[in-house]
């Protein structure tokens, strides 16, 4: 097992970022101001496996949106889930 895979295996939570791509002004501002904060970036790198879900790409992510009760095209949403996809917050 590579070092990278061992590190990923230790991270038991996923940081799911539901985002429109391309995004509206409010979503872009959230990314540029909130998601770029150095403490948040460090926490995501250290403790989570970060995932982006494009919530405006139709059926390709429909199952994920339905699972977490997210309407398509919703403003930016963050979910933290465990390795089995169960919501933690």
**Which value, in Å, is the radius of gyration of the alpha carbons in the chain?**
14
CB 88 within 8 A of CB 82: yes
Please report, for the chain, how many H helices and E strands are present, in that order: 4, 3
Q: What is the reported pLDDT for 80?
A: 92
pTM of the model: 0.73
Q: What is the reported pLDDT for 84?
A: 86
Domain boundaries, the chain: 11-79
For 6-39, the pLDDT digits (tens) are: 655 667 899 998 887 776 777 778 878 888 999 9
Residue 4, phi then psi, degrees to nearest 5: -60, -45
CA 68 to chain centre: 12
For 32-74, the pLDDT digits (tens) are: 888 899 999 999 888 899 888 888 876 556 688 888 888 888 8
């Amino acid at each position: 097992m590579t070092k990278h895979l061992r590190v990923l295996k230790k991270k038991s939570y996923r940081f799911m970022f539901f985002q429109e791509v391309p995004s509206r002004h409010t979503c872009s501002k959230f990314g540029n101001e909130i998601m770029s904060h150095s403490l948040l970036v460090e926490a995501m790198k250290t403790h989570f496996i970060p995932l982006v879900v494009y919530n405006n790409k139709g059926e390709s992510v429909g199952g994920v949106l339905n699972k977490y009760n997210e309407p398509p095209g919703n403003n930016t949403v963050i979910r933290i889930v465990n390795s089995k996809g169960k919501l933690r917050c």
